[in-house]
Amino acid sequence: MTTAVARATEREAIERRVLDVVSRLAGELGTLPARGAAAPGDALDRDLGFGSLERVELALRLEQVFAVRVGDAVVAEAERCHDLVDAVMAASPVTERPHPSVVVPAGSGVVSLAARTLTEALGWHAERASERVHIVLRHDDGSEEPITYGVLWARAAAVAAALHARHIRAGDTVAIMLRTEPAFFAVFFGILLAGAVPVPIYPPFRASRLEEYASRQAGILRNAEARLLVTFREAAGVARLLRRRVPSLEAVVPADTLMAVAAPPPAPPTDADLVALIQYTSGSTGDPKGVVLTHANLLANVRALGEALAIGPDDVCVSWLPLYHDMGLIGAWLGSLYHGIPVVLLSPLAFLGRPARWLTTLAAHRGTLSPAPNFAFDLCVKRVTDDEMAGVDLAAWRLALNGSEPVSADSIERFTRRFARWGFRPQAMAPVYGLAEASVGLTTPPPGRGPRIDTVDRDAFERRRQAPSAPKDAPMPLRFVSCGRPLPGHDVRIVDAAGRVLAERTEGRIEFRGPSVTAGYHRKPELTHAAVRAGWMDSGDLGYWADGELFVTGRSKDLIIKAGRNLYPQEIEDVVGGVPGIRRGCVAAFGVADPALGTERLVVIAESRATEPAVRERLRAAVVERIVDALGLPPDTVVVAPPGVVLKTSSGKVRRSATKSAYLAGTLARHQRSPWRQWARLRAGDARLVVAAAGHAVWAGVFLVWTGLLLGVTVPPLWIAIVLAPRGRRTDAVVRRWCKTVLRLAGYGPAVHGLEHLPAGPAILVPNHSSYLDVVALLAALPIDLRFLAKRELLTTPIVGTILRKVGHLAVERADFARSVVDAKQVAATLESGVSVCVFPEGTFVDRPGLLPFRLGAFKAAVETGCPVVPVGIRGTRQVLPGDTWRPRPGRITVAVAPPLRAAGEGWREMVRLRDAARAAISAASGERS
């Protein structure tokens, strides 16, 4: 028998056994096809109704039958039954002896409080304890890979040098699409060492969600204006799909190519107020928002968490949380790095594929700290077997930090009971509250206290938003879990819609403030303005205080108001998830306004694997009955839907708003397309983008020729007119007329707003500076007599120098200009003659968006002369003529004049006040980040 024939025979035998396993599981779940058996081409989700939990069970059964370790890719990526056959054939046999764990030493001590940045924190450890193990990566087969502080620093330095060679500069954003792998840590710190800003996004997870993934990540990358996307080679195809959809994205780079560069890195930044991370929220209630966090924000949070949790040198952190979310990135990894304690990391797929790996890793390394969302504790209760817990000791686990999603009293009680026999102590369970806008953590309970559960009277809570304790015999009481007290240096309060602080045990909106709180959302000032009120940030969550501790009750946007009662979707979803035949964690409850009734209709979408109409109807009736039993009122609509209909975030949270929108649009199940159709649609979209790009290129070429002709025809007459015109206003009039004509013929405009704010007398105009076109735009837009303050060396340049001399614009020595010392006599004399002066307070401009630091010269002149300062915002010049090219592009220019500012005092403080007020006005008018 030939090798090929033997291989085919082996595959047939394995295929029969795999299909038998699949058919048995589908039979137990009631999702077998009508033919009564699974076929090789059956889709696991669409045809068999297997979701993530069913895949976990399937992987376990395949491993038992074939005595192999099926890779975690089965859980995440297998689409059809024949993919399972391939996985079994490629699987490695179960090893009899486990791999030895890496021995990690005790922590090296907390970083000096003088550390201003994350890079300083890493450098502190790399210098003092280069050979100490910082990270232990635990692989699927149980083997482990240590990473020392010294190795991480060296790899990060190589990445920084490579980024610098690619012209990545301070303030640029670089996206990271990597798994839990060694490259992630080096790339993250390499970006920081280069002075750039990392933007972690989650890698492709399921081919059946490819289209949704591409759309969502492209939106994040566009908002972040990412210049590079660093990824792993297997994801390069998906990454290229994203590149065409993100105009700012210059390249997709495999991480290993960055670490191969041998060159000295640039000097790391030392400013604590520099942006260190843009953390995109998971978007469970809407589109993802980029939370801007500085080094100071992140260090303030990890320091406060260290104090609140009493982190010491004997602690060991264990985490499987994804590194693209705040709890895994900041809470587990960066917090461990700062405090100098080892961190043992598994991939999220390793946990989902075999939840026992989390617990066995904790035992192997005597882990003391480990965070996880609430669902993970329930998953362990359901999926971890007694056999897998053989020899496991959880006694060292002192803090099981339960957060990131609503904490269920039932879940923590189930977990505590289930794993008590393996040493888990009730006092170790620590429900916490946090959010990306606060870096990660906001409130924690006292370490070792254990969970505090509050039993509340349902009627008072749902009708009056009061949370009195329920009597012991109260029917259907509510139970809420305390999330503890605010971190040191942070404040939390409960307010009503008007911002008034509410009394204890009264539900309202949770607001917070503190040193780790974000300044706002990236390039979404309207969202920042809506979230911040008088220094307090609105969390979007609801809760109440009781005995000095915070109880979180739900999301304000998700609250359902029906028949005068406030209903909470989390409770409804949990109740419905307990109905046999309904997929727990795959239920969405939301309210739909009904003007005819004057209230909201309660709609419940519940996934089930059942396919028979009669079975689905019985499930619908059971859901209605369960809700009536729990709440005392029936839902208006119950939809029993197939698996995959309820939309979720990358972290597994139910996207109620998105599911509601799909329900109202009648598109609930339409997102379930086969992978090849999604690829086809994405490729078709790529083709449209290519055609559009070609069209833009043609138009850009035509525009370039047109502007070249325009300048070629108009500049010679301009030069002759300037030479012949007398000094003063005649030359100024000729130049202004040319500016207006050329900008109008080029289609630039400009559009002008706020001319009514120009004072009647002389003033000091301070515009932003982003392009060589700024002066041309101002001359075309502003109908007042003004003189620009220019560098003296411009007097020797052709045309420009002649214009400066003949019009009478002011000139200063370059050295003086760089130090922001304006020739006060020149400026004062010009203002006294009734002529305004225009000064660019930034002094120069650079390619990247954002305002540069302002010099004080113009504001010094305003204080000394008493003339008003007029902020001017210029939009569009950076886009139509960037600083790194002389190739003009199509676009529109806008000039907006803000209300004048007047000095109200004297001296240094008044200059600084005028500068700051002008900067804020210019930022708002120009759209440039301050």
pLDDT tens figures, 126-173: 988 899 999 999 987 778 899 999 999 999 999 999 999 898 988 899
Q: What is the per-residue pLDDT for 856?
A: 80
- Whether pLDDT at 286 is above 50: no
> What is the reported pTM?
0.70
With 60 as the cut, is the pLDDT of residue 38 above it?
A: yes
Q: In this structure, which amino acid lies at residue 227?
A: R
CA angle 129, 120, 311 (to 5 degrees): 65
Element (H, E) at 372: strand 369-372
Predicted local confidence at residue 819, as pLDDT: 39
Parallel/antiparallel/unpaired status of strands 173-177 and 228-231: parallel
Side-chain-side CA neighbours of residue 208 (13 Å): 24
- 271's tokens: 């400013």
Cα–Cα distance measured from residue 317 to residue 306, given in angstroms and rounded to the nearest whole number: 12
Mean pLDDT across the stretch 899-928?
88
Confidence label for 88 from pLDDT (cuts 50, 70 and 90)? confident
Instruction: Determine how many CB atoms are found less than 10 A away from the CB of residue 746.
Output: 19
| Range among 60-64, 471-475, 695-699 rated most confident | 471-475
Which range is least confidently modeled, 434-443, 642-651, 900-909?
Answer: 642-651
User: Per-residue pLDDT averaged across 801-807, rounded?
Assistant: 73
Q: What pLDDT sits at residue 301?
A: 96
Q: Given its phi and psi angles, is residue 223 left (phi above 0), alpha (psi -120 to 50 degrees) or beta? A: alpha
- Indicate the angle between helix axes 81-90 and 52-66, nearest 10 degrees: 40
pLDDT at 471 over 90: no
Q: Give, in order, the Cα–Cα distances in Å from 820 to each of 764, 814, 823, 905, 909.
A: 15, 10, 10, 21, 16
**Strand boundaries in 406-547, DSSP class E:** 429-431, 443-444, 453-456, 478-481, 485-486, 491-495, 508-513, 520-521, 532-533, 536-546
User: Crossing angle of helices 236-244/675-724, nearest 10°?
Assistant: 40
Site of tokens 């309970």: 445
Q: Which two tokens stand for residue 214?
A: 């591409």
Q: pLDDT per residue over 641-695, tens digit each? A: 888 788 876 556 788 877 887 887 777 765 555 555 665 666 666 666 667 667 7
* C-alpha span between 394 and 400 (Å, rounded): 11
Residue with tokens 């008044």: 910
Identify the H or E element spanning 556. none
Residue pair 689/244 in contact (Cβ under 8 Å)? The answer is yes
* Least confident stretch, 7-21, 323-337, 505-519: 7-21
CA torsion 346-347-350-352 (nearest 10°) is 120
pLDDT tens per residue, range 105-118:
665 556 656 789 99
Alpha helices in 444-568, H assignment, sequence order: 458-464, 525-531
Tokens at 530, concatenated: 């809506």
Maximum Cα interatomic distance, the chain, rounded to a whole number of Å: 105
Q: Taking CA 606 as the corner, what is the angle to CA 18 and CA 353, rounded to the nearest 5 degrees?
A: 35
Check residue 797 and give its pLDDT: 65
Split at pLDDT 50, 70, 90, the class of 98 is: low
- How much of the chain, in percent, has pLDDT values that exceed 70? 85
The structure tokens 């500049």 sit at: 715
CB 465 within 8 Å of CB 507: yes
CA atoms within 13 A on the CB side of 433: 30
Q: Cα-flanking dihedrals φ and ψ of residue 443, to 5°?
A: -135, 145
pLDDT digits (tens, 9 = 90+) for 838-862: 888 888 887 777 788 888 888 888 8
Amino acid at 397: W
- Per DSSP bridges, beta strands 764-767 and 836-838 are parallel
Candidates 215, 227, 94; CA nearest to 171 is: 227
Q: How much is the mean pLDDT over the chain?
A: 83
DSSP letter (8 states) at residue 794: G
Asked if residue 651 lies in contact with residue 404, where contact means CB atoms within 8 angstroms, the answer is yes
Category of 696 on φ-ψ map: left (φ > 0), alpha (ψ -120 to 50) or beta: alpha
* Helix or strand (DSSP H, E) at 849: none
Q: Which amino acid is at 245?
A: R
Closest residue by Cα to residue 298 from 278, 318, 319: 278
Residue type, 575: V
3-state DSSP: the chain helix, strand, coil percent, rounded to 5?
Answer: 45, 20, 40
Q: How far apart are CA 921 and CA 930, in angstroms?
A: 10
CA distance 790 to 47: 72
Phi, psi of 719 (to 5 degrees): -65, -45
814: confidence class by pLDDT, cuts 50, 70, 90: very low
Q: Is the pLDDT of residue 445 over 90?
A: yes
Higher pLDDT, 596 or 770: 770
What residue has token string 């800003």?
197
**Among 511-515, 777-781, 818-822, which is the least confidently predicted range?**
818-822
C-beta separation of 379 from 408 below 8 A: no
**Rounded CA separation 207/79 (Å):** 8
Q: Rounded to whole angstroms, how far apart are CA atoms 641 and 621?
A: 14
What pLDDT shows up at residue 97?
A: 46
Which is it for the CA torsion 44, 47, 48, 53, positive or negative?
positive
Q: In angstroms, rounded to a whole number, what is the distance separating the alpha carbons of residues 799 and 801?
A: 5
Helix (H) or strand (E) holding 588: strand 582-594
Task: Using DSSP, state whether 202 is helix, strand or coil.
Answer: coil
